[in-house]
Amino acid sequence: MINLSKRYPNVEVSGTPDKSRYCYIEYRVHGFFACMYCIWYGFYICEMENLKGVVLMGEDHLYYDEQHGDNVFNYFFQQKAIVGISMTIKVINLDPFLKWCHISLFDKRRANAVITERLFLKPIFKKNIENFRIKYFTGGNILGVHYRGRDKCSETLSFLLNVISKKLTRF
C-alpha cells in the first residue's frame, strides 16, 4: 500500500495500484464546489505520484441517482470507463487543497494541465451552459450572488432570501 496520507494531509488510501496505475478519486464533502476542489486535489495527487485518477461518485454520494448509473460523475463528465481498479484515494477534507496558494507556479501549471486533460463536460451540458449565457448574460452588467443554504449557517448570519432580493433590486 502506498502511504500518501503522510505527504498529502486528509486523504485515505485503500488498495495498491496495479501496473495500469489507475486509481479512483472519491471524497466525503458534498457541496458542489467542495466536490470540485476535492477532485482537483485528487488529480493533483495522482499527477505528483504518477497515477491516473478516475473520479467516482457512487451510491453514498449526495448527488447519486441510480437512474444516472453507478457513477453519477459520468452523467456530467466524460472519462474513460475503467474496470477492475484496485486503489482508491479518498479526500476526506478539502482544506489541504487550500495549500494550493502556496505551491509553486510550475506545480499549479502542471495541475491545471491535468484538470484540462481529465475533466470533459459532456457536450449537451456545454450547449445548455452556452445557451444560458447567451440568454441571460449578453449585454449589461452582471452581479452574481452566492446565497448559502443551511450547510454553513453557523458561519454567517442568516438572511431571508426576500430581504436579500429587496436589497439587490436597489442596484
pLDDT of residue 162: 75
Q: Are 171 and 157 in contact (CB under 8 A)?
A: no
- Interval 30-72: pLDDT, tens: 677 777 778 888 888 888 889 988 988 888 777 778 888 888 8
**What pLDDT score does 130 carry?**
93
- The pLDDT value recorded for residue 157 is 57
Asked whether the predicted pLDDT for residue 128 surpasses 90, the reply is: yes
- Please indicate, yes or no, whether the overall pTM of this predicted structure exceeds 0.75: no
